[in-house]
Structure 1
Amino acid sequence: MKKIFLVDDEVTIREGIGNGIDWAREGFVYCGDASDGELALPLIERYRPDIVITDIKMPFMNGLELSRILRDKMPSVKTIILSGHDEFEYAREAMRAQVAEYCLKPVSSQDLTSILKKVSLKIEEEQMNNRRVSDLENQVLKNTRTSKNTFLHELCEGAYTASEALKKASDLNINLISSYYFVVIIKYSAESDLFSWIETEYRCIRFSRKVNESIYIMMGESREQLEHDTEMLRQRFLTIEEPNNENPFVFGIGKIENRIQGIPLSFSEADEEKSYSSIIQKYRSKEIEQDSELKKELQHFRRRNLIDFLKFGLRNDISAFARSYSSYLKEGTIQSPFTIYYFLMDFTITISHYVKEIEMNNVHTMQKIGQLEMKTSWIRHYQEILAYMEEMLHLVLSTRDGLNSPFSSAVQTAVDYIDENYHDAQLSLQSVSDAVNVSSSYLSHLFSQETGKTFIEYVTAIRINKAKELLKSTHDKTYEIAHQVGYSDSHYFCRSFKKVTGLTTKQFKSQHHSLNA
């Protein structure tokens, strides 16, 4: 029996189709559904349906994009497009995507069953007459290692949309479809097979961007499993000793993301952690590197947590953070002056590197950090550790909060440009990067790193917030507001609005009026 998968962002339609047909009696198996194309892809990869029924208009990845990806990634899968738009252009695009059928909503269960049977016969005919699909795929997917490395590096820098990344990955014979991702970067002193076990034991894609550095895009279907994997990797890395102890390896692990466009953010975090580890490594003595127990003890804390607090933490939370970050010193078995000194040194160097990195290193701030650092050799007790940390964090966060902008000049210019041009439907990463005079991949990487949002997420948030203001203050029609905030398609605007706010524009306006009545 042919397996059927449904993609539609409206729950009522998914439930209506899923429950409205006696699948077994009609000779089919209903194997699953999803609310948009990008979320559907990992499930389609897992369940391998014969036929995909998809709505044409959906947020994140619409039905035409999904159809093109399936055409290239899984050419044996047939696609049926459902659309409420009786326009020639949609039909023409559907033909280009080689969809099996294109039909208008609403469609009855009887009509849909007839269409499914028609497509099913077409599948059986193709299976009988054409057994060369795998050979053709292998010919298309022949690419050099250099092309693969270039693509993966550009992917990690944010140069591709989800659709573009999946198309390029398919061309390079890379299986990029997954529900969750995180990035690991390892820099080592010499060519080594110390890390060959990663590709054997985990589902991942490995590439290199420079000599003696490996980058892994780790993948999985469960956030819980990947959280466990990050801990296991971190613990195992701490047990590895390189032959060249003069320059031991460093690593960085990014956070878990649930979309392809989250990979650059995880990559940025991993790269940042690795960079901080490299700086710390320069100041560590041979004694600490050769003492494996002490080395493990000093890795109980998570430098990533400190970096995040320096960026986004509140001064009111300094005391609680200091206690949490240093708790292992209070509870640990190794509490020698040597251990305390190196913990505080790591803490101080991380802060100094952060201050320099965001161009906040004015003379006064650096002098104060230097004066505080002189105390570290004399600290012996846990309360003294807390006092030192709190004084240092108050200094840095007060200086940070006193800046006019939390962003670098490039990102601030981009933010200002978006604020001034959000109403332009042609606004894109490329147009903004041209205005800022940097490459689109670099801006995407920098933007995600500093704002915590992808470019698309930020623009969408700005537009929806402006739309909410207009809904509150004007009597304009929904389609008029859509055009005023940069959406050329009012249907897509309505879906994006509901996706962000959880309400339709009508519900939002009614709710606002009732609160002000």
Structure 2
Amino acid sequence: MSEHYEDDKSRAAKASFYHAYFSLKNILIGSYIVLSILVISIFAVVTSKVTEQIITEKENRAVINSLRNIDDRITLKLDNYGTVMNSLAYSESTQTLLKQASELSNQRQLELVNEVYYRMNEVNVTNTEINAIQLMDLSGKKYTLNNGNYYMEGLMDNYFESPLYDQVRSLNGGLFIDYSGAYSRDTNNLTLYRTINELRGTRPIGVIAMSIKKQALGSILFQDSDLPLTSLIDISGITVIDAQKELQGTESAISFNSFTDIASSFQTPLYGDNYFITYLKNKHYDYTLVNRAPIGSIYQDVAFIKKVNFYLILFNLLVVVIIAVFLSRTLVKPINELIGLMNRVRQGNLNIKMTNPPLNEIGILANNFNEMVTTLRNSVPLRKEQLIGKLLLGRTADSGLLQQAKELGLPAFDSAHGVAVVEINDRSNIDASGVSIDDVEILLQSELAAIHSSALLHILDARRVIMIVHGEDEDIVPYLHKMLNEQKNIPVTIGVGRFYASAEHIHESYLEALDALNYKHLFDRNGMIYINDIQAYVYSYEQLDVLEDGIVHAVKYMKEEELLSMIDKLFITFKEQFVSKEAMNRTIVNTYLKIFKLMSDRGIDLFGSEQSNIQVPSINNIHLHAGAHELKREFAAFLQSATRLIEERREKRMNETIAGAIEIIQSRYADNDLSAGNIAKELHISENYFSKLFKHETGVNFSQYVTTVRMEAAEKLLRQTGNKIGEIALQVGYNDANYFSLCFKGAFGVSPGKYREKQGN
């Protein structure tokens, strides 16, 4: 009985124990505790993983942003070098040197090289960064421009025989950069190459190379202290610039095949440790920026978070909520604010910044963001100038060009635009009054703002300003021309190109405007020249030669009325056929030389004391005349003076007997029986004495003089009448038309029929 009682008591105790520990309350509490621990554990694990991803992404973005800052500075620096090379390649001196070097004297070549060297220093960005610049024409002749004490002898050695020739040529004026020194055989320097094309075409006429110190880009690359292990790797996988100097010029230990995107990251074993690799590719200049950081340093924050999460299991859900709220305030809110600011920057708002950034990694991103916005805001004027330069040079194929114009507040260029070039005349007067090309630009900018015009301005050189004008504002060009010339008393000529409907034709309009200015010598001084008013004639040099000979003939035979007529005809021909200034000057110089020879043959010393009242023109200064009117005035004055000198000399040397003989010849040249003997009888002197006296006084024998008179009469009949050649021969004293034609060709170089054709009769 007692045994049964003990068993019952034992069973009751066990039941009480099970009831105490497995009651619903305890189960709920235990379940709650277990669930809380489970939730917190899962939260801790998930938080650790998410935190790892966030920190990794954060580190990646921070490094990418820093690399982008570096890339922007390097790209800007290389663009500046490209601008230097572009300015040199399209300077008039370089074009002349490479196209006409074989025709130039050594002195002129030296002057052009010095002029290009001066231009290099004038446009150079930083003198200490550029070692040397070399030009080479297609024949392999080199012109070296040393910057300071630097010099590189082998910059272009074996250029034509190396693969470098094809690579540079294929870019058609674009930059090719030898980062690793494979071609220049110098690992301490970068070398930039590009072809030089003709100013208005794509035909290559030479090549230009520029040697740059690698430390110039290295200083940009490593000025960021938070990127100590950054490298620049070229397209062939060679480390060009590296924080560890011993790696420079060697093949990169990072697989180049991994660089698949423009910007990305990956992990890889390197130098016996795991590294986090972040890279940014620059396709424009074919290089990649690579930053490497040990995985341990990247995940230090992750390990700390994991440790904190381990202790979080000991806390209740309230702590979890507090931590969540804390994380929300310290991480999510600043990130959202930063993302919002970035979106506003994308929309073109550069007048913003993140205030009161947190004192953590997000604060670093915020500071970098603020610096980036400041850099962008400061670079807007430069970017505008670069974009306008691309439009003028025809580089409209660049991706995003119109979008860049929109972001910079420039017109969309999706409608008609044209180019006008404003050129200042009389620089000596302008300089004396203190007006520079910058002053002219300010005047134009102020006037355009006052009339709310969207026209763009770009200074080309010390004398010219370029205007890109919308088609609807075409009328402002003559308005601005009048404002400068009349209101501001600044003498300018404006060349205007055609208006085109798309941006890719702005380059053509620019070239047309420059071409129009080439004809300003034919138009009114300080005028406007539209390319539509210029007609491209293929003028005949033979026709100009005939006019030259006509002028010399009129001077020779003292026919002042005919001389003035021929001068008018010559300058009318210049204008009607739009003869270039070079061809016009050549014609004037040739005429002067023929007149000088004629005067010398007549024994007249133009430079002697007797002729001190005669203004002898300077051939060297012909090109200095601003226009055809001024040149014509000086030209006519000298020729009239030369005519009067010849006439005075003739009157001094001609005695009455010969004067009488000449009068007989002039009145009876049509008589085929006219002879020295007949005239000698009429003058009552012997034929032998008459011939000698005639030769002495006139400088030619009797028969030559008669032939000359007859040829002059024949030439006049050919120009003024439609008589047949045989009739004209009889009218001037020749019974044989064939003999007449032979004499005429001997005098004028062409037959009578061809001479009449040239005169248009």
What TM-score results when the alignment is normalised by the length of structure 2? 0.21
* RCO higher in structure (CA 8 A, sep ≥6): 1
**Which of these two proteins has the greater Rg computed from alpha carbons?**
2
